[in-house]
């Protein structure tokens, strides 16, 4: 029985390399369907946690993770030799960028090399890590072939980008449509069939390059539009008398041709911040400069500096020096109601203020108990009315729904709101300085 037949009969096994916010939910989906699944990660803490029956990903149920682990359909290990036992291998490893904003696909290369050591005939490898076009065929394929195997003959290879949205309660691994592009038509067919076991809708495209590029387009689309409203927010503040939030809401009443995006203190997470630089790096190899895309990324990366200036401007009007000012940061996760700190703009705001000489910065966040700032561990402080009242300035950088904004404004002296979290607050609005409200002239 060939691999496609075994997939259709649910008689196959899976390995997922990388048990982070993409890999673990995917592994759990397969295991929940009764498919024997091996989760592989080089981080011993993740493996130890899973072997102890503990879940560390917010978006999946603790009970479901515990169930598949207890039943033995999901097994966690750091040993790549289990690859030889599996029919399908997913690669779900990080793809960061270097300090010079060039792609770092070393995790993909390392994972692929480890897989190649245990590859056997007939297996299918599916890369899910967000990356630049030609990674699958230009980097992963040669490593797997190793001069002795041939893709489409000895093994199958495809790219199927992740579409995880941390914290989204509506769209998750199973019901979010995905794209698949294989090196050969048979590779595409097999990879699509595997994904359809756990994912409701799978769209096949003609090649891995198309799938790699469409993933970048998804995120760069958001980056460019967020940059547009971030720039307009600054213009509204400079002009005075125009509130960008009201402008966007008004424009959103148009039933066609417009999609609302909102300003903020910057962008975080993995994809939207990083992907423009992956594409601009690739473009330079082809003597092409992505001016528009790069400019949008730069606008978004400048927003923490804009928030920094908002804070400094308010402190300048207070009877306190920056060194002695008590600054309370509300929310440090990169987006609302998640426990993900990656590239959070709140961190950059805190770093900038510290570099300026702010000596009393604290933060509250129900999802982030501690963080690293300048190499030192910083603990979240418990929320209290007294904490807010004692602060000289409160900066809302992440609009968690757990925060009571009426209460924060009531007790605070000054509030800088970078997310329009205080939109429904009616009393004490004179204390609020909203990014882009046309009143906070820089």
Q: Which residues are catalytic?
A: 271
- Let me know: does 403 contact 421? Beta carbons within 8 Å: yes
Q: How far apart are CA 260 and CA 249, in angstroms?
A: 7
Bridge-based pairing state of the strands 432-434 and 415-417: parallel
Bridge-based pairing state of the strands 178-182 and 155-159: antiparallel
What the block records as the tokens of 282 is: 């690739």
Q: How far apart are CA 235 and CA 238, in angstroms?
A: 5
Buried b (16+ CB within 10 A) or exposed e, 164-180: bbbbeeeeebeebebbb
Single out the residue of 401, 335, 363 nearest to residue 21, CA to CA.
335
Q: How far apart are CA 418 and CA 266, in angstroms?
A: 9
Q: How far apart are CA 128 and CA 136, in angstroms?
A: 10
The CA-based diameter of the chain, rounded to the nearest angstrom, is: 79
Q: How far apart are CA 123 and CA 333, in angstroms?
A: 39
Helix residue ranges per DSSP H, 170-207? 185-196
Single out the residue of 64, 80, 78 nearest to residue 27, CA to CA.
64
- Please report, for residues 34, 241, 404, the alpha-carbon distance to residue 196 in angstroms, rounded to integers and kept in the order given: 14, 52, 42
Q: What is the length of the chain?
A: 442
Q: Cα-flanking dihedrals φ and ψ of residue 88, to 5°?
A: -130, 135
What the block records as the tokens of 50 is: 């899973």
- Let me know: does 296 contact 316? Beta carbons within 8 Å: no
- Please report, for residues 130, 338, 340, the alpha-carbon distance to residue 335 in angstroms, rounded to integers and kept in the order given: 20, 6, 8
């Amino acid at each position: 029985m060939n691999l496609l037949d075994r997939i259709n009969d649910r008689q196959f096994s899976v390995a997922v390399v990388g048990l982070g916010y993409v890999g673990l939910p995917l592994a759990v989906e397969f295991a929940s369907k009764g498919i024997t699944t091996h989760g592989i990660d080089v981080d011993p803490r993740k493996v130890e946690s899973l072997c102890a029956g503990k879940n560390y990903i917010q978006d999946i149920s603790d009970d479901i993770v515990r169930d598949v682990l207890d039943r033995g359909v999901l097994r966690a290990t750091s040993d790549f030799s289990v690859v030889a036992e599996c029919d399908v291998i997913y690669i779900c490893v990080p793809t960061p960028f270097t300090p010079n904003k060039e792609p770092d696909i070393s995790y993909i290369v390392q994972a692929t090399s480890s897989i190649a050591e245990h590859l056997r005939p007939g297996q299918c490898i599916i890369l899910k890590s967000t990356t630049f076009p030609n990674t699958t065929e230009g980097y992963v394929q040669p490593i797997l072939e190793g001069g002795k195997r041939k893709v489409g003959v000895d093994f199958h290879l495809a790219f199927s980008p992740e579409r995880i949205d941390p914290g989204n309660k509506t769209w998750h691994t199973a019901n979010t449509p995905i794209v698949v592009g294989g090196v050969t038509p048979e590779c595409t067919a097999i990879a699509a069939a595997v994904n359809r076991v756990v994912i409701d809708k799978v769209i096949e495209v003609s090649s891995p390059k198309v799938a790699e590029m469409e993933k970048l387009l998804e995120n760069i689309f958001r980056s460019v539009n967020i940059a547009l409203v971030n720039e307009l927010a600054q213009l509204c503040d400079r002009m005075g008398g125009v509130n960008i939030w009201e402008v966007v809401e008004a424009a959103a009443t148009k039933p066609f041709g417009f999609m609302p995006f909102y300003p903020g203190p910057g962008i975080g997470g993995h994809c939207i911040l990083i992907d423009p630089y992956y594409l601009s790096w690739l473009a330079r190899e082809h003597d092409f400069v992505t001016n528009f895309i790069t400019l949008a990324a730069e606008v978004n990366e400048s927003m923490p500096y804009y928030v920094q200036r908002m804070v400094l401007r308010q402190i300048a009007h207070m009877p306190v020096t920056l060194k002695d000012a008590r600054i309370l940061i509300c929310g440090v996760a990169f987006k609302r109601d998640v426990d993900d700190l990656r590239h959070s703009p709140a961190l950059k705001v805190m770093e900038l203020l510290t570099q300026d000489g702010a000596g009393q910065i604290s933060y509250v966040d129900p999802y982030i108990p501690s963080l690293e700032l300048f190499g030192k561990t910083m603990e979240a402080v418990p929320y209290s009315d007294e904490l807010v009242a004692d602060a000289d300035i409160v900066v809302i950088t992440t609009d968690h729904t757990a925060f009571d904004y009426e209460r924060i404004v009531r007790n605070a002296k000054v509030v800088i709101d970078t997310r329009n979290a205080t939109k429904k607050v009616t009393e004490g609005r004179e204390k609020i300085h909203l990014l882009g409200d046309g009143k906070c002239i820089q």
